[in-house]
A and B are shown apart, each in its own frame.
Chain A
Amino acid sequence: MSEEILKVENLNKYYGDWQVLHDINFDLKKGEVLTLLGPSGSGKSTLLRTLNGLEDYKDGAIYFHGKKIDPNPKTWQALRQKIGMVFQSYDLFPNLTVMENILLAPVKVQHRNEADVKKEAQELLARVEMQDYAKAYPRELSGGQKQRVAIVRALAMNPEIMLFDEITASLDPEMVRGVQEIVENLSQRDHMTMIIVTHQMNFAEKIADQVLFLENGKILENTPGKEFFEKPKTKRAQEFLESMDF
């Protein structure tokens, strides 16, 4: 068994009286790719956002390397350097160039040497075929290019886990493959530990080691990826897969 990085225990979350996450339990091992699937509004994104403190939770616990996370802003701020996140809407900072976007956190938060980070950033940009855009501003880039930069920006922190929140959902169809390939490459080449929320079933099937199937804030299934797509355990998941028609 490889080492456990993240563990979620009896997590419950409410928006007012409405419970959005019900008794969530799962763990994540080093190098594993966990995919969160389920219909819209099932709580996938909320769960993902909870894992780096963008959402708080009422009770339950999250453990990072076996150590229980004390859910206060300071702890989360430190942890976010180890848990990178990429969003559906890219959210590059429009006031900064591509390179400045990437350098900001490693230099200002991690206090690393700017020249070293810059060299690393260039290599990462080259890896996603964006090496010629270091001086460009986000408004000059297409959606697919922005998302590649957003991935590099998160990777430049050298995180141990990457969270991807529907990162291809706003992209033009012809851009989707390129971004998915980057994520696949991250898993295969770097054995990056990842949690992915997606509605692209063929992508999920290709990349998922493990699938969490959620509905109405509950985990209905926690199944190895191959098995989930071949014969899901629950009838609900079966219907879901049929409705997705991929």
Chain B
Amino acid sequence: MAHSGINILFAGNNFGRLMAGLWNSIWIAAVSLVIGLIVGTIFGVLRTSNSKILRLILRLYLEFFRIVPTVVLLYLVYYILPELFHINWSASWMAVLAFAMWVAAEFSDIVRGALQSVPESQREAGLALGLSKVQLFRYVLIPQAFKLELPAMINLATRVIKTTSLLLIISVMEVINVGQQIIEANNQQYPTGVFWVYGFIFILYFVLDYPLSAWAKSITNKQK
């Protein structure tokens, strides 16, 4: 058969399967980001608090997620949590849990940095108007910090999307996993299929991540 390997992308429902895999990657990334960014904002605010103990705990939390490779983290969550706590979630939700904790850690540091670069005089002006601490964060500090943290936040989102490619190790049916199955099923017939499948997956990731990356860059340039 002298067919070009490109055919395997469209043979049977392969295209649909790849897209379903991509959708899995997207929703896991999106849900993890939403949860992680909210929790990360709270942690970031708490990291500016006066309590040394609280700051230390959150700092250790951050360092843990920075030091442990994501692969190890996924294994820990997937194999050890169910044993320890008798949690019986699907692999996808385990992935969301792991990613959300990771995003929360990374984002807490971004939020802390941004909050600390809002001028002290803004805090004092808010206090002088009688704002409570919560109101001060809600109306004055967090909105100003948000502008500063936006590029880093978008870059974090692109990293999360890319990292969903690791989810095949815990058997989530994401796009790489599906691609791998297609390649293996057609290896005899189309030895060049691997290039087409991974080439196509490359394009999918590029289409997802490039606009985000370009957006972050344009914001950074504008803020200069």
User: Cβ of A87: which chain B residues have Cβ within 8 Å of it?
Assistant: 121, 124-125, 128
Is A69 engaged at the interface, CB distance under 8 Å to the other chain? no
Query: Does B131 contact A109, Cβ atoms closer than 8 Å?
Result: yes
- B194-211 contact mask (Cβ, 8 Å, vs A): 1 or 0: 000000000000000000
A110 and B132 CA atoms in complex are apart in Å by 11
- Given known A87-B121, A89-B121, A108-B135, contact A95–B128 (CB-CB < 8 A): no
Is B143 engaged at the interface, CB distance under 8 Å to the other chain? yes
Is A54 engaged at the interface, CB distance under 8 Å to the other chain? yes
Number of B interface residues in the complex (CB < 8 A): 18
Range, interface on chain A: 20 to 34
User: Cβ of A96: which chain B residues have Cβ within 8 Å of it?
Assistant: 139
Could you write out 28 A-B pairs with CB less than 8 Å apart?
A52-B128, A53-B127, A54-B124, A54-B127, A54-B128, A77-B130, A77-B132, A80-B128, A80-B130, A87-B124, A87-B125, A89-B121, A91-B119, A91-B122, A93-B144, A95-B140, A95-B147, A96-B139, A108-B131, A108-B135, A108-B139, A109-B129, A109-B130, A109-B132, A153-B129, A154-B128, A154-B129, A157-B130
User: Cβ of B119: which chain A residues have Cβ within 8 Å of it?
Assistant: 91
Residue of B nearest to A90 (CB): B125
User: Cβ of A80: which chain B residues have Cβ within 8 Å of it?
Assistant: 127-130
Query: Does A105 contact B130, Cβ atoms closer than 8 Å?
Result: yes
Residue A93 contacts which of B130, B132, B140, B147 (CB distance < 8 angstroms)?
B140
A77 and B133 CA atoms in complex are apart in Å by 10
Main secondary structure of the interface of B (DSSP, over half): helix
A187 and B115 CA atoms in complex are apart in Å by 38
A95 and B144 CA atoms in complex are apart in Å by 6
Output the least CB separation between B58 and chain A (Å): 22
A52 and B128 CA atoms in complex are apart in Å by 7
A157 and B127 CA atoms in complex are apart in Å by 13
User: Cβ of A77: which chain B residues have Cβ within 8 Å of it?
Assistant: 127, 130-132
A153 and B128 CA atoms in complex are apart in Å by 11
A153 and B139 CA atoms in complex are apart in Å by 15
Query: Does B121 contact A91, Cβ atoms closer than 8 Å?
Result: yes
Q: Which of B125, B130, B135, B144 has the most CB of A within 10 A?
A: B130
User: Cβ of A91: which chain B residues have Cβ within 8 Å of it?
Assistant: 119, 121-122, 124-125
User: Cβ of A219: which chain B residues have Cβ within 8 Å of it?
Assistant: none
Query: Does A81 contact B130, Cβ atoms closer than 8 Å?
Result: yes
User: Cβ of B127: which chain A residues have Cβ within 8 Å of it?
Assistant: 53-54, 77, 80
User: Cβ of B139: which chain A residues have Cβ within 8 Å of it?
Assistant: 93, 96, 104, 108
Chain A 61-96 residues near chain B, CB threshold 8 A: 77-78, 80-81, 84-85, 87, 89, 91-96
Chain A 189-206 residues near chain B, CB threshold 8 A: none
Query: Does A85 contact B130, Cβ atoms closer than 8 Å?
Result: no
A50 and B61 CA atoms in complex are apart in Å by 38
Query: Does B128 contact A109, Cβ atoms closer than 8 Å?
Result: no
Query: Does A105 contact B131, Cβ atoms closer than 8 Å?
Result: yes
User: Cβ of A94: which chain B residues have Cβ within 8 Å of it?
Assistant: 144
- A130-164 contact mask (Cβ, 8 Å, vs B): 1 or 0: 00000000000000000000000110010000000
Chain B 131-162 residues near chain A, CB threshold 8 A: 131-132, 135, 139-140, 143-144, 147
A95 and B139 CA atoms in complex are apart in Å by 9
User: Cβ of B125: which chain A residues have Cβ within 8 Å of it?
Assistant: 87, 91-93
Query: Does B130 contact A78, Cβ atoms closer than 8 Å?
Result: yes
Residue of B nearest to A80 (CB): B130
Output the least CB separation between A112 and chain B (Å): 12
Residue of B nearest to A150 (CB): B125
Residue of B nearest to A110 (CB): B130
Residue of B nearest to A89 (CB): B121
